[in-house]
Structure 1
Amino acid sequence: MQVRIGVQSVPKELVVETSLSADEVERAVSEALSDADGVFTINSKSGRIVVPAAKLAYVEIGVDEAPSVGFGTF
């Protein structure tokens, strides 16, 4: 699943590939935001990403889609 993370005052977003489900990512964001000094942590295929919850601008959770095979219609 692809997760895009916007960080305040940073012009480029973080794009993370993770094996977590959408519900697990949403739960991790909620837990981080509920603590005043919380951090949002997500494990990606290349390592661990840690962002202070107070600096999160947005978290976009992608939809798991099966790759398309064959010809598509236009």
Structure 2
Amino acid sequence: MDVKIGIRNAPREITLDSTLSAEELSNQVAEAVGNGGTLTLADSKGRTVIVPTAHLAYVEIGAATTGTVGFRS
């Protein structure tokens, strides 16, 4: 799943590709916001992103990432 995380007062968003389903991601975000702690997500490359929920602007959960077709120059 493609995930975009907006951070308050930050010009750029955090993007990652998660192996979790949309429902699992949504549950993790809801739990973190409800607890007022931190949102911790791991991406498909082994990276871990930790964001304090007090600084979250939004979390956008997109469609599953599929292979891209095209030419690179």
User: Fold-level match, TM-score > 0.5?
Assistant: yes
- Partner secondary structure for residue 40 of structure 1: strand
Name the counterpart of 2:64: 64
Report the Cα offset of residue 63 of structure 1. 1.3
The answer as to whether partners of 2:40 and 2:51 remain within 8 angstroms in 1 is: yes
Alpha-carbon distance in 2 for matches of 1:57, 1:26: 15
Tell me the number of residue pairs that the alignment of Structure 1 and Structure 2 aligns: 68
Identity %: 40
Q: What TM-score, normalized to structure 2? A: 0.82
Q: How large is the Cα RMSD of the aligned pairs?
A: 1.7
Q: What TM-score, normalized to structure 1? A: 0.81
Report the Cα offset of residue 35 of structure 1. 1.1
Name the counterpart of 1:42: 41
Matches within 5 A, 1:1-74: 1-36=1-36, 38-44=37-43, 45-64=45-64
In structure 1, list runs of 5 or more residues that go unmatched. Answer: 70-74
**Structure whose CA Rg is larger:** 1
